Amino acid sequence: MLGFGPLFKIMVLIVELSYTKSLKSRILQNPEFSKIQMFNLHLNHQFFPLKFPRPSSSSFHRRSHDSVTLRRREFHRPIFLSVVRSGTDGGGYKYGSCEGDELTKLLSLLPETMQAKLLSHENLHDLVEIVLDLGRVPLARFPSGDFVLSPNPISLIDLNHATSQVGMFAADNRAGISRTLHRISAIRNRTGVIVGLTCRVGRAVTGSADSLRSLVKDGNSLLLIGPPGVGKTTIIREIARMLADDYKKRVMIVDTSNEIGGDGDIPHPGIGNARRMQVPKFDIQHKVLIEAVENHMPQAIIIDEIGTKLEAIAASTIAQRGIQLVATAHGVTIENLIMNPSLDMLVGGIQSVTLGDEEASRRHGKKTIQERKGPSTFTCGVEIISKSELRVHQSLESTVDSLLSGRRPTVKICKINSYGFTSKMATMENEQDTDDEITFHSQQAELIEKEEFADPSNGKSYASDCSEISTQNTYGVHTFIRIYVYGISETSVMRAIKKMKIDDIIQISQDMGDSDGFLALHSKLKKTPQIHAMAESHNLPIYVTKTSSVDQISKAIRALVTKKTEDKDRVVIEEEMKSSEKVDALEEARLAIEQIVIPKEEPVELLPRPPHLLSAQIDLIREYNLKAVKVGKDLNAFIRIIPVSSTIHKRSSSMKIHNTLSQPNSETPLNGIARLPLLPE
Ligand SMILES: Nc1ncnc2c1ncn2[C@@H]1O[C@H](COP(=O)(O)OP(=O)(O)OP(=O)(O)O)[C@@H](O)[C@H]1O
């Protein structure tokens, strides 16, 4: 089949798969197929790369990736042809595509033997990064794991070959390849020579923001948060395109590392008609933000990585002017922002309030509480959990208020199905329809709405609240509450459980040691103190009823379920807090290293942290080949990061030491932790 024109290839494939005439003609009549250059076959969810040579003609300047589903009765599952076609339709980038010229440009950073090895990988289209470290074997990173590109270690010649083909490295050690979205990040040795490269594949993914479409369309300001590499930039790039092309808004992207619009002065088609402003130095991002508003009359502003107080202030100024703002920030959950003194203003700012005696006693003696200070800069918050799962907080203010008052916020969970493995497709599989069918689809977003952790005050019946709360925790884990019953017939207990409609979350246990609660008839328990003692020795909450009536049993079970739910919520909150503290500590260290220690070669003192977080920070600092010194003791212990130059030449006493605590009048664009009181000029 190799070497023939695309239509012919499709025909050959169709003949090979014994497709019917009608199917063949439907495929061929479809105008999209006149543009096909290359395709791969997914049969029964398995991937078979069918390699066709790409035409070298420059007429194929814009390529995109689409899928075609061919369905026939004799195949139990749909067949997918993932097709790379050329297009002239102004954008049209489809799911996860980086084939064609753009991938070739990235591969050309590698010696030919490595390119060939990488091309043989069956999931080439999923490639995330290529890692080239001096003296080590080169790796290609895929979601499924690392793939060794050569047994031979990388030499300086290899690195020079790669760097000679990319643009200039900016102060943040990042460079790009012109007219592509790839990001090349350098690691340098003490003398500034590049000894490592991380080459991140950039893709325009149409459909990646479909689940946020209605929020975007309604003019909401969106803050997307997520850990590094989870796909934040990819989503806001698509939102920029969506706003500009689909909703005809004047969109300006403030593109700090040229990651959204790609390298070079002509932006990548992945941003559609959105305009892009480049940022000469990352520490003046906030100024460019203000300039964008003042000079270019945008209706929407897109910005990747708000990390400093100055940027947060600029963002809130923009939001106050009624401009739709779509931005990203590092972090895992909204709690991370609330606890980050530089970024908390994005969610309205947090203040401590001292309560009067009466109010304090109503709140179990709590004298101070935390409250939101003012309106949030963003209307909605989106936690990006993975490339296929988003948690949408439609009212960021309500989320913050809920979290501050110890309640669970209501979130929407959006699951994104890719390559057609959507629930819709599954339904289609199960249909009894016998016709041949062709479906064009790009990434499809399936919105699964869950009113999680509904506030019990919202008037719902106890039973439904209970099942929502108990069957689903933040991570969607299904758990049972086990109850040990004594002196009451199991039939009565089951009747009560059924009546409360919570039989999917409560089980009667036969083993006291494996139970969550103990339910007994008062009169029986009084006569058997040893059973009482046993329940106590297992630390079980004990509930007694005077009679075996369903009403009394229900009351007791309700009390048990409420207690267990509260306990579980507390544990989850504690775990989340622990994990977010770690994220903050590492983020603080990372930003200090990347924004001050490496570029300015100045030491930075981090905030005091507990010992396990100090160790985590030290590990991270070592990964950057920098030195970390632990200063102070116990609760006051903190880390000082020493730049490479200071480890060679002893630090002069006049050398400035930054710290991530308050620095009045300091203009240090330090990080997400620093308190910088300046307002933008
Ligand atoms: N929906 C998607 N489908 C396929 N690949 C994706 C998708 N979203 C992101 N990627 C890929 O994942 C990698 C990381 O994406 P991206 O750069 O958008 O993440 P990020 O969260 O902005 O990372 P960072 O915080 O490090 O800048 C890239 O190679 C990108 O092409």
User: Which CATH number characterizes residue 311's domain?
Assistant: 3.40.50.300
Which ligand 1 atom is at minimum distance from the Cα of 129? 29
Tokens of 217: 């369309």
Tell the residue nearest (CA) to atom 10 of ligand 1. Answer: 231
Same structural domain, 388 and 478: no
CA distance 197 to 52: 30
Ligand 1 contact, 564 CB (< 6 A): no
Which ligand 1 atom is at minimum distance from the Cα of 207? 1
Ligand 1 contact, 231 CB (< 6 A): yes
Residue bearing the bigger pLDDT, 181 or 332: 181
Tell the residue nearest (CA) to atom 23 of ligand 1. Answer: 229
Same structural domain, 546 and 581: no
* pLDDT winner (highest mean) among 198-207, 292-301, 313-322, 560-569: 292-301
Residue bearing the bigger pLDDT, 313 or 47: 313
Residue bearing the bigger pLDDT, 111 or 423: 111
Decide if the complex's ipTM is over 0.95: yes
The last residue of one of the domains, among 179, 200, 221, is: 200
- Give 10's pLDDT tier (boundaries 50, 70, 90): very low
**Digit-coded pLDDT (tens) for 590-610:** 888 888 888 888 888 888 888
Q: What is the pLDDT of residue 365?
A: 67
Tell the residue nearest (CA) to atom 15 of ligand 1. Answer: 231
Same structural domain, 568 and 643: no
- Give 660's pLDDT tier (boundaries 50, 70, 90): low
CA distance 607 to 594: 16
Ligand 1 contact, 387 CB (< 6 A): yes
Which ligand 1 atom is at minimum distance from the Cα of 304? 22
Same structural domain, 327 and 343: yes
Centre of ligand 1 from the C-alpha of residue 233, in Å: 6
**Digit-coded pLDDT (tens) for 305-320:** 898 888 888 888 888 8
Same structural domain, 363 and 395: yes
Owning domain of residue 130: 101-200
User: Which CATH number characterizes residue 563's domain?
Assistant: 3.40.50
Tokens of 407: 């309640």
The last residue of one of the domains, among 200, 228, 261, is: 200
Tokens of 90: 């102004």
206 class by beta-carbon count within 10 Å (0-12 exposed, 13-18 middle, 19+ buried): buried
Residue 477 falls inside a structural domain: yes
Ligand 1 contact, 207 CB (< 6 A): no
Mean pLDDT for the stretch of residues 200-217: 87
Same structural domain, 393 and 523: no
Same structural domain, 194 and 218: no
Whether the predicted pLDDT of 638 surpasses 60: yes
Which ligand 1 atom is at minimum distance from the Cα of 237? 18
Q: How would you classify the pairing of strands 627-631 and 638-642?
A: antiparallel
Same structural domain, 77 and 144: no
Q: What is the pLDDT of residue 657?
A: 58
Whether the predicted pLDDT of 99 surpasses 60: no
Q: Of 159-168, 246-255, 349-358, 380-389, which range is least confident? A: 349-358
Ligand 1 contact, 417 CB (< 6 A): no
Residue 123 falls inside a structural domain: yes
Exposure letters 503-536 (e unless 16+ CB within 10 A, then b): eebbeebeebeebbbbbbbeeebeeeeebbebbe
To test the ligand 1 pocket, which listed residue (230, 234, 236, 594) has its Cβ within 8 A of the most ligand atoms? 234
Q: What is the pLDDT of residue 167?
A: 83
Whether the predicted pLDDT of 455 surpasses 90: no
Q: Of 137-151, 459-473, 575-589, which range is least confident? A: 459-473
Ligand 1 contact, 203 CB (< 6 A): yes
Tell the residue nearest (CA) to atom 8 of ligand 1. Answer: 231
Neighbours of 426 (CB within 10 A): 13
Residue 83 CA: distances (Å) to CA of 29, 33, 302, 447, 553: 16, 9, 31, 26, 61
User: Which CATH number characterizes residue 122's domain?
Assistant: 3.30.450.90
Ligand 1 contact, 554 CB (< 6 A): no
Whether the predicted pLDDT of 16 surpasses 50: no
Nearest to 199 by CA among 91, 113, 114, 305: 114
The last residue of one of the domains, among 542, 573, 604, is: 573
Nearest to 560 by CA among 574, 590, 540: 540
Mean pLDDT for the stretch of residues 148-156: 94
Residue by residue, DSSP assigns 234-290 as HHHHHHHHIIIIIS---EEEEETTS-SS-BSSSPPGGGTT-EEEE-SSGGGHHHHHH
Residue 439 falls inside a structural domain: no
Residue 650 CA: distances (Å) to CA of 245, 602, 642, 643, 647: 56, 12, 10, 11, 6
Q: What is the pLDDT of residue 332?
A: 83
Q: What is the pLDDT of residue 364?
A: 65
Same structural domain, 556 and 629: no
169 class by beta-carbon count within 10 Å (0-12 exposed, 13-18 middle, 19+ buried): middle
Ligand 1 contact, 331 CB (< 6 A): no
Same structural domain, 255 and 266: yes
Nearest to 550 by CA among 487, 505, 488: 488
Residue bearing the bigger pLDDT, 388 or 376: 376
Residue 322 falls inside a structural domain: yes
Ligand 1 contact, 664 CB (< 6 A): no
CA distance 223 to 226: 10
Same structural domain, 217 and 362: yes
Three-state secondary structure call for residue 380: strand
Whether the predicted pLDDT of 40 surpasses 90: no
Q: Of 100-104, 185-189, 192-196, 573-577, which range is least confident? A: 573-577
Ligand 1 contact, 63 CB (< 6 A): no
Exposure letters 34-70 (e unless 16+ CB within 10 A, then b): ebbbbbbbbeeeebebeebebeeeeebebbbbbbbbb
User: Which CATH number characterizes residue 634's domain?
Assistant: 3.30.1370
Same structural domain, 320 and 369: yes
Mean pLDDT for the stretch of residues 116-138: 91
Ligand 1 contact, 96 CB (< 6 A): yes
Phi and psi dihedrals of 135, rounded to 5? 80, 5
Q: Of 62-66, 416-420, 576-580, which range is least confident? A: 62-66
Strands (DSSP E) found in 290-377? 300-303, 324-330, 350-354, 368-372
Whether the predicted pLDDT of 510 surpasses 60: yes
If you search the block for the tokens 């304090």, which residue do you land on?
360
**Digit-coded pLDDT (tens) for 214-229:** 899 999 999 999 988 8
Residue 289 falls inside a structural domain: yes
Q: What is the pLDDT of residue 656?
A: 56
Q: What is the pLDDT of residue 140?
A: 95
CA distance 81 to 96: 14
Centre of ligand 1 from the C-alpha of residue 229, in Å: 5
CA distance 185 to 536: 59
- Share above pLDDT 90 across residues of the chain, in percent, rounded to a whole number: 24
Number of structural domains found in the chain = 5
Which amino acid, residue 613?
L
